[in-house]
Amino acid sequence: MSNQASNEQPKIALVTGGTDGLGRATAVLLAVHGYHVFAGGRSAERLAALNHAARDRKLPLEALELDVCDDGSVERVVSDIERRAGPVDILVNNAGIAIAAVVEELSLADYRRVYDTNVFGPIRLMQRVLPEMRRRRRGRIVNMSSISGKIAIPLMSAYASSKHALEAISDSLRLELYPFGIDVVLIEPGYIPTSMNRTAAELSSSYAKNAERSPYRGVYERFLRSWEKTRKASRYKPEDCARVILRAIEEDPPRARYVVTREAKFGILARKFLSDRAFDRTLHKRLNLKEIREAISREARS
């Protein structure tokens, strides 16, 4: 049942990465449905734009500066929400980044950067809001995973492994919190065009510039071609994912996982039922990896 249709006090929702893309669409949709929403983000421009839009539409939505990688920022924001509105009922951990490069070349600093945002960021938020959720014996945590939480492809080891980690953390936490009546849900979207993809390209630009001199040149080229095909073929919008998140928040009891996009559903089914060797062959074909291997072998013999 929609929060709007209830006579109870509006539930408090905190959405991280909530000023753009999937997070913004989710924050707006929750506000439309009567939730009192706080959207966290780092961009002053996007914060101002969302606050302006919320005022124009008279939505119970406020955008706040939040850096999920900073303990102090998390503490300030959650304390401010509790003081002004009340305890957080729903936490949507949506903030995330991706950096694309092969394992041999991706720096440890960039691995840490991805993990701090995609893994430790959600943990920071969950550890901060959980004591109050436990005390009240209610609450719902929605963690934004990805098809990459199930399927790892070349160049995406940092992002995919961070989502694998988030899935495992969520599975453990779901069982730990069951006695307290708190639900933990994973959202597993396929590719949906958002500004995160542009940000990922910017964060990966130094590796892309050096790809021509890399021994993995062919892998970089095939990955970029495949990614461009995926981008052009996508027909999904952030609002499609937001509707699934709303359902995950309002269904009682919720499912442990909600898959978004047809391609993600097919990919996850293939990963589940194909052997590792058979699944690898599908990626060899898609990315022409066998062709690259043969070219490298010819170069070695010449």
Q: What is the pLDDT of residues 224-244, one digit of tens each?
A: 999 999 988 889 999 999 999
Q: What is the pLDDT of residues 247-280, one digit of tens each?
A: 999 999 999 999 999 999 999 999 999 999 999 9
Q: What is the pLDDT of residues 83-134, one digit of tens each?
A: 999 999 999 999 999 999 999 999 999 999 999 999 999 999 999 999 999 9
Domain 10-301: CATH superfamily is: NAD(P)-binding Rossmann-like Domain (3.40.50.720)
pLDDT for the residue numbered 2: 56
Chain mean pLDDT for the chain? 95
Note every long-range contact of 59-62, with CB atoms under 8 Å and residues 24 or more positions apart, other chains counting.
59/28, 59/31, 59/32, 60/10, 60/31, 60/34, 60/35, 60/36, 61/27, 61/28, 61/31, 61/37, 62/37, 62/38
Active site residue 178: no
Given 35, 159, 191, 216, the catalytic residue: 159
Binned at pLDDT 50, 70 and 90, residue 26 comes out as: very high
pLDDT beyond 80 at 5: no
Binned at pLDDT 50, 70 and 90, residue 7 comes out as: low
> What pTM value is reported for the model?
0.95
